[in-house]
Amino acid sequence: MKPTAVDYSLYLVTDRGLARGRPLLQIVAAAVRGGVSCVQLREKTCATREFIEQALAIKNFLHSRHIPLIINDRVDVALAVGADGVHLGQTDMPLAMARKIVGDSLLIGISAECLDDALAAAKDGADYLGVSPIYDTPTKADTAPALGLAGLQKIRKAVNLPLVGIGGLNAQNAADVIRHGADGVAVVSAIVAADDPQAAAARLRQAIEAARDKTP
């Protein structure tokens, strides 16, 4: 059964291509020690069996610390490893098909690249939205035009789901994203490529908590 209360505050999305040769589990462990509250495992090139083995090792670490694991794109991998959820982009499996397969066993997060995406995902029963991209980012080459803080705010007013901002976010601009209605900040390179992923996560988490204290 999918978890009922998820802390999306600081949401790490992995990318082994940015890990500078360090094992993902090592980066995930450091990031969690620094304050990451949710982890999405994204693997776009490895074989399914390797993806599953990687996911099981990371799940084993995360679950003993009550941190949810979300699998990018692959509904089958999410089911196979007993993850907490699956995250689907606009070129992944359509939400309604995925829900029919997984029922209430998994959270389903959807990447919303515009207001229409967000409204459709809310209508079809998404559990949370990745609002993407807030800013342009070199991490993903295939993204839609940047939404900016105004675009995030428009989606915040229109849907009642947890929103996680992603795209070009770091310790300097994370607070803005929280102040403009996001429930969490998702990052890839700001943690995965950092010299010290634990310290990077700690700075991000601090910025997020400070912004919340100041948000009415």
- For its own copies, the closer of residues 90 and 170 by Cβ is 90
The DSSP symbol for 9 reads: S
Q: In 3-state terms, what secondary structure has residue 103?
A: coil
61, 27 contact by CB (below 8 A): no
Give the angle 146-88-143 at the CA atoms, nearest 5°.
Answer: 25
**Window 127 to 166, contacts with its own copies (CB under 8 A):** none
Interface with its own copies in residues 25-64 (CB under 8 A): 47-50, 52
Give, in degrees to the nearest 5, the angle at Cα 173 between 169 and 177. Answer: 80
Q: Estimate to the nearest angstrom the gap between the alpha carbon of 80 and the chain centroid.
A: 20
Consecutive H or E run containing 163: strand 163-166
Looking at the Cβ atoms of 81 and 147, the one nearer to its own copies is 81
Q: Which one of residues 19, 93, 119, 146 is an interface residue with its own copies (CB under 8 A)? A: 93
The CA-CA-CA angle for residues 110, 146, 68, to 5°, reads 30
Please identify which residue in 32, 77, 110, 202 interacts with its own copies, judged by CB under 8 A: 77
Q: Should residue 97 be labelled a site residue for its own copies when binding is judged by CB under 8 A?
A: yes
Q: Judged by CB under 8 A, does residue 79 bind its own copies?
A: yes
Residue 105 annotated as catalytic: no
Residue among 88 and 190 whose Cβ is closer to its own copies: 88
80/144 with CB nearer its own copies: 80
Q: Does 205 bind its own copies (CB under 8 A)?
A: no
Q: Among 18, 19, 57, 101, which residue sits at the site for its own copies (rule: CB under 8 A)?
A: 101
Is 64 marked active-site? no
Active-site residue, selected from the candidate residues 16, 42, 203, 205: 42
Give burial (CB, 10 Å; 0-12/13-18/19+) of 163: buried
**The pairing of beta strand 107-112 with beta strand 163-166:** unpaired
Nearer to its own copies, 46 or 158 (CB): 46
Binding residues with its own copies: total (CB under 8 A): 21
Start-to-end C-alpha separation, the chain? 34
Q: Which residues are catalytic?
A: 42, 111, 140
Residues near its own copies (CB under 8 A) are 47-50, 52, 73-77, 79-80, 90-94, 97-98, 100-101
